Amino acid sequence: MPQSANPPLPEAQHRPVLALAIRVLAGFALGTMFMLVKLGKSRGIDLPHMLLVRQAVTIPILLGWLAMRGRLHIMRTDRIGSHAFRAGTGTVGMVLNFAAPTLLPLAVATTLSFTSPMFAVVLSALLLREHVGKWRWLAATFGFIGVALVADPFNASVPLFGALVAIGAAFMVALVSIQIRDLTKTEDSVAIVTWFAIFATPVLFIASLFSDWNLDAEKALILLGIGLSGVAGQLLLTTSLRFGQVSTVIIMDYMALIWATTYGFLIFDNLPPASLWLGAPLIILAGAIIVWREQTLAKQRNEAALR
């Protein structure tokens, strides 16, 4: 989930209804990917194989897309080391993100993923030495209370290890978002994603050699679906920001909870525990406060720059 507001869009590009619709499709694509990850695990597909296909499919699709648009030049970089480091942390995060829905009900894993803005607040204060005001600290507090309610450690309605994996995944998303914030000062966002795939794919290929593929037609389709839905989700997320501000479209990210609950019921005959409905509103409220505060601060900065 993006953590800061993007710059004002040219009037010709500002199409908020289209941006919202694209963001809904992005959430559906990513929700489908995580459903397929959970389904793949239940069918005996090993996690390294799913991760490998997810990243390997990205390379030809994004390079082909750049080539068709005549933009391959954006892959040139003087920051190859930064891309490699981002790929390392990103791969750890991706492992945790893929593991979480295999260990938890989809709706629970999705809800805990919404905590990444709270971790971003803490990391911004600790790593970037950014001033974090009372509103964002209050939001982070609400979010972590929500996590405690969702995890429900006293009644054990949610597996503790799975909850820790999902929270770890959200933490890594926040950490990667700070690295990306730095990279986007000089690098194109599509180039960042493509370099991530280029660095991660060989590592994941080596990891995949330690277990047997044992593919049949169903498993092959699941793997292909994971790769295509993941790339589609990434491209749709990026495209939504061409037509609308982060603060406009980000609320649609919370619809992922609807997709996750629906898939959980229809595919896995599973409904989330009652504890989720106690904690989820607090987590979503915390994210909304952070987005509102980021937008307010961005507006103040823009007004100050015009004086």
pTM of the model as a whole: 0.79
Residues 6+ apart with CB under 8 A from 28: 259
DSSP 46: -
Tokens of 33: 């990917």
Residues 6+ apart with CB under 8 A from 39: 222, 267
Which among 241, 249, 252 has a CA at the least distance from the CA of 8? 241
DSSP 4: S
User: Buried (b) or exposed (e) across 241-270, using 16+ Cβ within 10 A?
Assistant: bebbbbbbbbebbbebbebbbebbeeeeeb
Q: Residues 250-259: pLDDT tens digits? A: 667 777 888 8
For 280, the enclosing helix (H) or strand (E) is helix 274-306
Each of the 307 residues of the chain gets a pLDDT tens digit; together they read: 444 434 444 544 567 678 778 888 988 999 999 999 999 999 999 999 999 999 999 999 999 989 999 999 999 999 999 999 999 999 999 999 999 999 998 888 888 888 877 777 777 777 666 666 777 778 778 777 877 777 666 666 678 899 899 999 988 888 887 787 788 788 887 888 899 999 999 999 999 999 888 889 999 999 999 999 998 888 887 777 677 665 556 667 777 888 888 898 889 888 777 777 777 788 778 777 777 776 676 677 667 666 6
Contact 51, 36 (CB under 8 A): no
Give the pLDDT of residue 243.
74
In the chain, what are the domain boundaries? 16-306
Give the pLDDT of residue 151.
67
Q: Residues 117-165: pLDDT tens digits? A: 777 777 777 766 666 677 777 877 877 787 777 766 666 667 889 989 9
Instruction: Determine the residue type at 257.
Output: L
Instruction: State how far the alpha carbon of 80 is from the alpha carbons of 52, 84, 92, 220, 269, in Å.
Output: 21, 6, 19, 33, 45
Q: What is Dmax (Cα atoms) for the chain?
A: 65
Q: Residues 75-99: pLDDT tens digits? A: 999 999 999 999 999 999 999 999 9
Give the pLDDT of residue 7.
47
Angle 46-214-99 from CA coordinates, rounded to 5°: 10
Contact 109, 100 (CB under 8 A): yes
Contact 295, 247 (CB under 8 A): yes
Give the pLDDT of residue 148.
74
Angle 92-95-101 from CA coordinates, rounded to 5°: 140
Contact 241, 24 (CB under 8 A): no
| Number of other CB atoms surrounding residue 238 within 10 Å | 14
Contact 116, 256 (CB under 8 A): no
Which among 251, 257, 237, 230 has a CA at the least distance from the CA of 189? 237
